[in-house]
């Protein structure tokens, strides 16, 4: 998989270089030390009307895609915050921020690995 994206600061390694080098701590620091005023902020917004029960998704392709994203998030969380409880919102936010920065930044390649990778 190829990951590209902006470097945090002039002369510092990019997220892609840190990820390729296996520098998870450096990658996490780069995500926290960004100049947000100079770039778009990758994020996902989901809205749910919870006034009624939410219908269960039965589309196999969407379920497989969701499982692949969940597996990637689990791997990031295990690498970044292995000490955290499963319900630790700060740990989830950290893992999601690094995942978004490495996979959803401008010019980043989409996730192509399967859930079992």
- pLDDT, residue 4, reads 47
- pLDDT, residue 35, reads 60
Any idea which of 5-19, 46-60, 63-77 has the lowest mean pLDDT? 5-19
Contact call for residues 4 and 110 (beta carbons, < 8 A): no
- pLDDT, residue 90, reads 83
Tell me the pTM. 0.52
Greatest mean pLDDT range, 33-37, 43-47, 53-57: 53-57
Q: Which two tokens stand for residue 28?
A: 């996490």
Q: Output the 3-class SS for the chain.
A: CCCCCCECCCCCCEHHHHHHCCCHHHHHHHHHCCCHHHCCCCCCCCCCCCCCCCCCCCCHHHHHHHHHHHHHHHHHHHHHCCCCCCCCHHHHHHHHHHHHHHHCCCCCCCCCCCCCC
How confident is the model over 72-104, as pLDDT tens digits?
889 888 888 888 887 888 888 888 888 877 777
């Amino acid at each position: 998989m190829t990951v590209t994206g902006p470097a945090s600061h002039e002369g510092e390694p990019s997220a892609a270089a840190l990820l390729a080098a296996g520098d998870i701590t450096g990658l996490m620091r780069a995500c926290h030390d960004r100049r947000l005023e100079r770039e778009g902020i990758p994020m996902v917004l989901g809205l749910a009307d919870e006034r009624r029960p939410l219908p269960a998704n039965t589309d196999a392709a969407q379920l497989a895609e969701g499982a692949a994203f969940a597996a990637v998030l689990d791997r990031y969380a295990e690498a970044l915050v292995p000490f955290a409880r499963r319900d630790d919102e700060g740990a989830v936010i950290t893992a999601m921020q690094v995942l978004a920065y490495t996979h959803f930044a401008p010019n980043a390649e989409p996730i192509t690995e399967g859930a079992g990778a």
